[in-house]
Amino acid sequence: EGDWKTMIDVTNLLWEICEDKRVFDPDFDLLSSEVLDSFAMIELFSRLEDAGIELYPTRIDRESLRTPRRIEALIRQASASL
């Protein structure tokens, strides 16, 4: 069993969902740019759930989704509690 990084590549996942190269910048603001809109968020949560990581949108501070780096930290935190 690998760690979360080998299982989920956040930037590639965001690229597949959003198809915007700016997601490869770990500090790119996904929210103010509207790259991660509500439909993309639903897809992100769905794909993470498929990978065994359940995040509950109603329990997540929106700021945790602002940048790829923050999403990685959120996934690390969720993975640690599994």
Which stretches in the chain have pLDDT values below 70? Answer: 1-7, 82
Q: pTM of the predicted model, to two decimals?
A: 0.86
> DSSP secondary structure string, 34-60?
TSS-HHHHHHHHHHHHHTT----GGGS
**What integer pLDDT is reported at residue 82 of this predicted model?**
62
**Tens-place pLDDT, residues 30-47:** 999 999 999 999 999 999
Q: Using DSSP, state whether 16 is helix, strand or coil.
A: helix
